[in-house]
A and B are shown apart, each in its own frame.
Chain A
Amino acid sequence: MKEKKIFVIVDIGYGDNVKGGTAHKVGVVKKAHTFIKVGGCQCSHGVSTSDGKNNNFHHFGCGTFEGSRTYISERMVIEPFRLLIEANNLRDEWRIHNIFDYLTIDRNCLCVTPFHTLSSRFRELLRKDNPKGIVGVGVGETLRDQKDFPDEAIYAKDLGSPSLRKKLELVRERKFEEFKNILSSDCNLLDYFHKADIKKASEFIDLFHDGDFINRIVDVFNKVYSQITITDEIYFKSLLEKDGVMVMESSHGVLNDRLYGFQPHVTELRILPQLNIEMLNKYGFSGDLVKLGTTRAYQVRHGAGSIVTYDQEMTKNLIPDGNKLENRWQGKVRAGALDFVSLQYAIDICGGPEFFDGVSVSWLDQIELLKKWDICDSYNGNNDLDFFFPNGKIKVYKSDDQALIEHQKLLTMQLDRCTPNLKSYDISRMPRKSFLGLCSSVFEEKLKVPVKMASFGKSENDRILM
């Protein structure tokens, strides 16, 4: 009997939970013919293969090394400059000579322009000591503009269109207006920015004032258009009808969801997997869905926002090169004990344990080196019943968007006051098999979701199917 199945990979944290490695493993095991991309291109899905390849995928799916195709869906936001760079890199470094043959893009896929990128970074610099924490691509800025000024939005289908220049000019004018104080020639930048950020801000201003910039953007966008294959809904429907396995890869973690994430440190995107499944249903998918959550064996967060179990020592031990990952936009990488309170909330906002077929747990080898596995299954300070159940679980609040956002802001403040109750398992003399057993039973007990994949390293050979 032929299999028609889509594996939906769901990061049940704040991102950085090994979606790339998990999706790659699924692709290898199931011989996935296509990876469907959703979310934003600011994602960085790392893949390390057993034959020595390492790459962070943004627009291309994590099965590219294995010959799987990538379909960028209408629920993905792309950035043409980065797409071209990524393709060139896959070609030049990894010798995928016909790289664009692997890619199809839905015509209604939204595109970030350099003006959105610049604006997004301007805003973050203007926040000075209260950063939101951004990746710095401009996906959020683009989404907000699409909502407020839909006529100016640029989609994949527009990249080669005669109206492209006009649209870019409109975007540029709008951004000029939004930042007119900063962009005016008599602006004292020190009134707006930290001294340390003046150089960056000046570079951005130069680009805004560069009279030839739009020409170059048009040139690049046209070039991308000439390389990519733009598809419509008929193509997607036929893709969904095809026998075989596909993998759906999303950016971010569900705890970054615009509505259910911990405000204000969220993305502008909706991350919940049920929204992506709605898209599959809308286009007539009739096969099986396998929903696989992903997390590390410890909590991790790159960027501003709550992380109740943050532990400086663990961060140093688990992410020794964390300082290299630190940047002006996302800030520091932080780690701590695996936080089952937030994981449980993540599971709940996706529809509860029954929504998931399993969970993939990564970096167990790092925990082995620590010789103990610390977890948190409850918080201190979570007594407000507006936000927490009596048993300490975080409530999933249901309301209209604005009320929900306000609630989530207050929830974040509550979380910032919470401290973790930690439990520590001594694994110093535990054989790997026993550690796996312990891990499975803890996940089953705390989340009611079985562990279906566990990894003790980076490559597909280090990931164990269970």
Chain B
Amino acid sequence: MQLLGLYGRVNFILIQQSNFFYFFTQLKSIKMSRNDKDVLTDDVYRDFKKSVNTDRVTSKGQERHEKGLGLDPLVDPASNGVIRRSLNRMESEGLLFRLVMGVAILIEERLDTTGSFRRNVDIAFKALPRAYELLKKVLGRYDLQMINAIFADELDEYILCRSHAEMGIKIAEQMTLMVPEGGGKGNHGEDPQYGLFAGAYLTSADINRYGLKSYDFTTTDEPSHEPILKSQLERVFGKEVFNRVKENGFEIDPDNLPTVKQVIDKLLERAHTFVFLVDKDSEANDYWTTVIDQNRIIYLEDTLWLPEVKAAIIGLTEGVLTLSDMEDFLVNEANVSKDVARMIKRAVSGIPIGAQTLLENFDKIPLKGDLFKEKRDMWPTDETPGEDDSEEPTKTVWL
């Protein structure tokens, strides 16, 4: 290990770009919780917000970039083993393990930050407590974990920033490390396809082990460029990208890469996938309708109501909401006006309602507090957490 790297960075992987001053600034800003069971609360968020430049919440990431240090490893898609994992949180209790917060459900949100969307991270950051609260209301039995990503154009410095699957205040912390360049280059399209690729092939979510799906949202106003390029995949995710894909259980021929439609089809196998299109009449619509079902494209006038729209979609998909009670939910729980509630209802009414409920194990998944024999077991045990006082088994014992 290079020493400058060691004293300059928290992460092993990107030490070659390191600067040891950074190590300390990062350590000051990121508190590692001794017991990270917490969820994102208003108090924690308010406290963290005091350390953030709210005019430009990504200033920390930008400063790092301006110093030539590249992306922070926490939002660099190539860092930390490339695969992003959303795992159930287990804590040992006697000889057993307790599920701390319910089965982990992953929500990945991918925001276009080109051109007029350059402020999307600021908007998302400010809306985070509201978004989180609403998501908790429609996903109450799960452990809510979120990946935030932003994408740009391949001609920009960073095509993709992608956080880890986080809960609690780390969701907000990692937003501040992103680098939205606000470019776009006016070349008829942007490059969300590498983020979609990551969602499909470089994500490992426990919810999928149960046969259920996570959620994946892309917000844009442009078509995606085609094709997906090997060189760009290696640029975004590192040279080992195809090994990581393989490690994650997928086979991809680097010389015969999937199209954007094929990537989305693969993503749909593990995630309820939606595209938010912020300009209905654009050429973007013509493009996206060729790569994803029309009922998974949601038309929005702006990104202001994204938290409410996402909550509505998830509520409908999970069977927590119906179209008939949605307006009441939005008015009473999200505090939006009746007009806005009606607008959201219209936008989401075509989605596959109850899609999650139709999946096997929907009503069987473990719940918060269930006990398991092994940390990675899927299903709970009937045993109690006390010390094991059973008799020595009669079979031959190895050593």
Decide: A89 near B3, CB < 8 A? Known: A2-B388, A67-B92, A94-B85: no
Residues in A neighbouring B399, C-beta threshold 8 A: 7, 290, 292, 357-358, 452
| In the complex, per-residue mask of A237-250: 1 if CB is within 8 Å of any chain B CB, else 0 | 00000011000000
Decide: A207 near B7, CB < 8 A? Known: A66-B374, A98-B91: yes
Decide: A51 near B376, CB < 8 A? Known: A92-B164, A94-B85, A98-B37: yes
CA distance A109 to B376 in the complex (A): 32
CA distance A89 to B73 in the complex (A): 10
CA distance A366 to B333 in the complex (A): 61
When the two chains form their complex, are residues A100 and B3 in contact, meaning their CB atoms are under 8 A apart?
no
When the two chains form their complex, are residues B23 and A220 in contact, meaning their CB atoms are under 8 A apart?
yes
Segment of B27-35, B228-236, B271-279 engaged in the interface with chain A: B27-35
CA distance A465 to B399 in the complex (A): 9
Residue of B nearest to A63 (CB): B375
When the two chains form their complex, are residues A216 and B3 in contact, meaning their CB atoms are under 8 A apart?
no
With an 8 A cutoff between CB atoms, is A121 at the interface?
A: yes
With an 8 A cutoff between CB atoms, is A117 at the interface?
A: yes
When the two chains form their complex, are residues A31 and B95 in contact, meaning their CB atoms are under 8 A apart?
yes
Residue of A nearest to B27 (CB): A223
Instruction: Give the shortest distance, in Å, between A121 (CB) and chain B (any CB).
Output: 7
When the two chains form their complex, are residues A88 and B10 in contact, meaning their CB atoms are under 8 A apart?
yes
With beta carbons under 8 angstroms apart, the residue of B33, B37, B80, B86 that contacts A92 is B80
When the two chains form their complex, are residues A89 and B80 in contact, meaning their CB atoms are under 8 A apart?
yes
Query: Which of A411-450 touch B at CB < 8 Å?
Result: none
CA distance A207 to B167 in the complex (A): 37
The SS class assigned to the B binding surface is: loop
When the two chains form their complex, are residues B392 and A219 in contact, meaning their CB atoms are under 8 A apart?
no
Residues in B neighbouring A213, C-beta threshold 8 A: 7
When the two chains form their complex, are residues B95 and A89 in contact, meaning their CB atoms are under 8 A apart?
no
When the two chains form their complex, are residues B10 and A67 in contact, meaning their CB atoms are under 8 A apart?
no
Instruction: Give the shortest distance, in Å, between A245 (CB) and chain B (any CB).
Output: 10
With an 8 A cutoff between CB atoms, is A114 at the interface?
A: yes
CA distance A121 to B249 in the complex (A): 41
When the two chains form their complex, are residues A98 and B33 in contact, meaning their CB atoms are under 8 A apart?
yes
CA distance A393 to B379 in the complex (A): 54
Residues in A neighbouring B90, C-beta threshold 8 A: 67
When the two chains form their complex, are residues A82 and B32 in contact, meaning their CB atoms are under 8 A apart?
no
CA distance A446 to B23 in the complex (A): 51
CA distance A357 to B6 in the complex (A): 40
With an 8 A cutoff between CB atoms, is B287 at the interface?
A: no
Query: Which of B75-92 touch A at CB < 8 Å?
Result: 80-81, 85-87, 89-92
Residues in A neighbouring B398, C-beta threshold 8 A: 29, 452, 465
Residues in B neighbouring A290, C-beta threshold 8 A: 399
Total number of B residues with any Cβ neighbor in A under 8 Å? 52
Decide: A67 near B97, CB < 8 A? Known: A2-B389, A29-B398, A88-B11: yes
With an 8 A cutoff between CB atoms, is A118 at the interface?
A: yes
With an 8 A cutoff between CB atoms, is A84 at the interface?
A: yes
CA distance A98 to B249 in the complex (A): 27
With an 8 A cutoff between CB atoms, is A52 at the interface?
A: yes
Residue of B nearest to A82 (CB): B6
Decide: A114 near B3, CB < 8 A? Known: A51-B376, A219-B27, A220-B23: yes
Task: Report which residue of B32, B74, B87 has the largest number of chain A beta carbons within 10 angstroms of its beta carbon.
Answer: B32
With an 8 A cutoff between CB atoms, is B4 at the interface?
A: yes
How many interface residues does chain A have, given as a range?
A: 35 or more
When the two chains form their complex, are residues B36 and A97 in contact, meaning their CB atoms are under 8 A apart?
yes
When the two chains form their complex, are residues A1 and B391 in contact, meaning their CB atoms are under 8 A apart?
yes
When the two chains form their complex, are residues A227 and B32 in contact, meaning their CB atoms are under 8 A apart?
yes
When the two chains form their complex, are residues A91 and B392 in contact, meaning their CB atoms are under 8 A apart?
no
Query: Which of A63-113 touch B at CB < 8 Å?
Result: 65-67, 69, 81-82, 84-85, 87-89, 91-95, 97-101
Residues in A neighbouring B374, C-beta threshold 8 A: 66
Query: Which of A196-235 touch B at CB < 8 Å?
Result: 203-204, 207, 213, 216, 219-220, 223, 227
With an 8 A cutoff between CB atoms, is B48 at the interface?
A: no
With beta carbons under 8 angstroms apart, the residue of B10, B80, B92, B387 that contacts A243 is B387
With an 8 A cutoff between CB atoms, is A46 at the interface?
A: no
Residues in A neighbouring B387, C-beta threshold 8 A: 2, 243
When the two chains form their complex, are residues A87 and B32 in contact, meaning their CB atoms are under 8 A apart?
yes
With an 8 A cutoff between CB atoms, is A273 at the interface?
A: no
Residue of B nearest to A291 (CB): B399
Instruction: Give the shortest distance, in Å, between A51 (CB) and chain B (any CB).
Output: 6
CA distance A223 to B34 in the complex (A): 12
With an 8 A cutoff between CB atoms, is A136 at the interface?
A: yes
Instruction: Give the shortest distance, in Å, between A412 (CB) and chain B (any CB).
Output: 28
Query: Which of A282-312 touch B at CB < 8 Å?
Result: 290, 292
With an 8 A cutoff between CB atoms, is B12 at the interface?
A: yes
Residues in B neighbouring A204, C-beta threshold 8 A: 3
Residues in A neighbouring B33, C-beta threshold 8 A: 97-98
Residues in B neighbouring A81, C-beta threshold 8 A: 6-7
Residue of A nearest to B90 (CB): A67
Would you mind naming 30 contact pairs between A and B with Cβ atoms under 8 Å apart?
Answer: A2-B387, A2-B388, A29-B398, A33-B95, A52-B204, A54-B247, A66-B374, A67-B90, A81-B7, A88-B32, A89-B80, A92-B164, A93-B80, A93-B81, A93-B85, A95-B165, A97-B33, A97-B36, A97-B89, A98-B35, A98-B36, A101-B91, A203-B2, A204-B3, A216-B7, A219-B24, A220-B23, A227-B32, A244-B95, A290-B399
What is the interface of chain A, defined by CB distance below 8 A to chain B? 1-3, 7, 29, 31, 33, 51-52, 54, 65-67, 69, 81-82, 84-85, 87-89, 91-95, 97-101, 114, 117-118, 121, 136, 203-204, 207, 213, 216, 219-220, 223, 227, 243-244, 290, 292, 357-358, 452, 465
Known: A51-B376, A97-B89. 12 other contacts (CB 8 A): A2-B388, A7-B399, A33-B92, A66-B374, A67-B90, A69-B92, A88-B11, A92-B74, A93-B81, A95-B86, A95-B87, A114-B7
